[in-house]
A and B are shown apart, each in its own frame.
Chain A
Amino acid sequence: MEELYEILEDIIPGEDYKNSTALVDDDILTSFELVRLVTEIDSTFDISIPSSEIVPDNFNSAETIWALIERLGGAG
């Protein structure tokens, strides 16, 4: 989780990403940031997020992003 926070801090500095539950819906994570986030997560956790998983529900909060990482087998 800490690693994820670090990535988010790098991509959207100054945003309250820990508590927000509408990162995508509120346009905090726009498609530009989303792609950078996906690339960072892929290389950090050594997984590969398929494009079909890039939907708002998966990226609206740090928790859901973490859940996605776990689901794809990158957290253990």
Chain B
Amino acid sequence: MALVSYGFGFFCAVLLLLYYIVPGRFQWRILLAASVLFYGFAGPLWILYPAASSVSVWYLARKIGSMTDQYRNWVQKDQPDRTQKKAYNQRLKARQKRFLILGLLLNFGILAVLKYTNFLLSNVEGILHLAGISGEMEYADWVLPLGISYYTFQSMGYLIDVYQRKYDPEKSLLRTALFVFYFPQLTVGPISRFDRLKEELYSPHRFSMDRLAAGGQRVLWGYFKKLVVADRIGPAASMITGSPEIYGGVYALLGIAGHVIQLYADFSGGIDIILGISEMFGIHLPENFDRPFSSRSLAEFWRRWHMTLMQWFREYIFFPVSTSQAARKLSAAAGRLAGKKAAGKVPVYLASLTVWSVTGIWHGASWNWVLWGLANCVFMLLSQELSGLFRSLQSRFPFTDGRGYQCFQKVRTFFVFCLPWMFIYYPAAEVFPRLLGILKGEGLLSLMLGGYGTLMDTPDLMILGLGILFMALAGQICGNEGLKERLSRLPWPVSYGLSFVLFLILLVTGVYGRGYEASQFIYNRF
């Protein structure tokens, strides 16, 4: 069921009603039933995938947890000394690790087979082709189960946490299933942590008008971003990037910038809808965006964009890889060869390259995505290497403290973020030289109007401009506090009035229904 559909609105309305009618202890069960139903709309058999994840994760987490309990009981009862404890622990960890690896293999295995089989086949074909053997490969035509990348990562995070003894596992299968299935986060994330979610997920919630209003406002805002901004700029940006023979040179940058704005409005709008709906049920999902476009460096940008995924990668890939035996050995070797400084950098480099290759492949099964990830990585490592130089430059040029310079940094970061998307929107690489080549002639503004102006009519262009301005202002005015808190502090008629106006603008100028292509959320392809 698409987030932009009358059916989804109806589904949520009925569910809300039901949720607040039943006694509190049944609420989470209602959510589970609704989530399974929601999943079943795509086709009843699809339910098997998240169900398999739920059962495996529930069983393995309990198994690992009960071993930890045995250890704790033994420590309490026998009061062993430090060396005894260490020896026991080592043996225990080895056994627990087997269950962990089983879970990882099974769950990531399903994901990998469904998502990457064709990628693998195309590579095999390429290699065979190079070796002079030609032949047609038989490609699989599997469709990815809804949200599989999200719920797999989320449940694997849970299993690893239990293995690392960050918290105790959930005993109930159905409760574990709700954590995996919880319907809002199936479409565009976010990826939640079990220990932060469980309290609100399972506990009873009483109806609150304030919460409903706050959630509703957020949903409204999300649909505004999606329908007024993202879906308006999307087709025009696709026209530009889709025909490089007409729109070459600096247009390519404009096309990508348009896509990036679309991507942000689409994805963060989807997250606003999801978080808003979840809030109506009294369940706070983690934030996924923190106004990334006011970042002053790419690394900062990626800490504020798709935050839950990046946190997942940091916690479960970046740190483990950088502290792994292999990293330590490599680091020591580098130290012997090139000194202490190099030794310190090896783990960072190794872990960064790993994380960004995986980030790339997570987004899409192709080498273009890997290149996209690695380009981001290279930019960040470069800026890390050059940070000393920048600092010494900054100390010599006083104007680098001012707002103007900060502004420059933000614009620069935006374009640095745009650049790697070239691998995605221009999969045929020959555009690249042209992109860098042409920067002369007409002014940028007239180009911009020339590019989008020919593809959109004036009223649409104006609404788009105002929409983007509105989004930027909302971020600027509300700052860290968020729109929600700001609105909640206003007297209700004012807050209601603003929401109503937003609703009206959305209703009238939103890109939906006949004459407009109802586009899917970009990020639920993953």
Chain B residues closer than 8 Å to A50, beta-carbon distance? 323
Chain A residues closer than 8 Å to B320, beta-carbon distance? 51
Q: Does A62 contact B (CB under 8 A)?
A: no
* Residue interface bits B315-344, CB-to-A below 8 A is 1, else 0: 100111011100010010000000000011
User: How far apart sit A50 and B327, CA to CA, in the bound complex (Å)?
Assistant: 13
Chain B residues closer than 8 Å to A34, beta-carbon distance? 319
The B interface, classified by DSSP as helix, strand, loop or mixed, is: helix
User: How far apart sit A36 and B299, CA to CA, in the bound complex (Å)?
Assistant: 16
- B residues 323-370 with Cβ under 8 Å of A? 323-324, 328, 331, 343-345, 347-348, 351-352
Say yes or no: B348 contacts A35, CB within 8 Å: yes
Q: For the side of the interface on B, what is the size category? A: 20 to 34
Say yes or no: B300 contacts A31, CB within 8 Å: no
Q: Does A75 contact B (CB under 8 A)?
A: no
User: How far apart sit A49 and B319, CA to CA, in the bound complex (Å)?
Assistant: 10
Given contacts A42-B328, A52-B164, A52-B165, contact A35 B319 (CB under 8 A): yes
Q: For the side of the interface on A, what is the size category? A: 10 to 19
Q: Does A39 contact B (CB under 8 A)?
A: yes
* A31 contact from B318, B324, B328, Cβ within 8 A: B318
* Residue interface bits A26-50, CB-to-B below 8 A is 1, else 0: 0100111011101110110000111
Instruction: Give the shortest distance, in Å, between B307 (CB) and chain A (any CB).
Output: 12
Q: Does B314 contact A (CB under 8 A)?
A: yes
Q: Does B166 contact A (CB under 8 A)?
A: yes
Chain B residues closer than 8 Å to A48, beta-carbon distance? 323, 328
Known: A32-B380, A35-B318, A51-B320. 18 other contacts (CB 8 A): A27-B303, A30-B303, A31-B314, A31-B318, A32-B352, A35-B347, A35-B351, A36-B345, A38-B323, A38-B347, A39-B344, A42-B323, A48-B323, A51-B319, A51-B323, A52-B164, A52-B165, A52-B166
B interface residue numbers (CB < 8 A to A) = 164-166, 299-300, 303, 314-315, 318-320, 322-324, 328, 331, 343-345, 347-348, 351-352, 380, 384
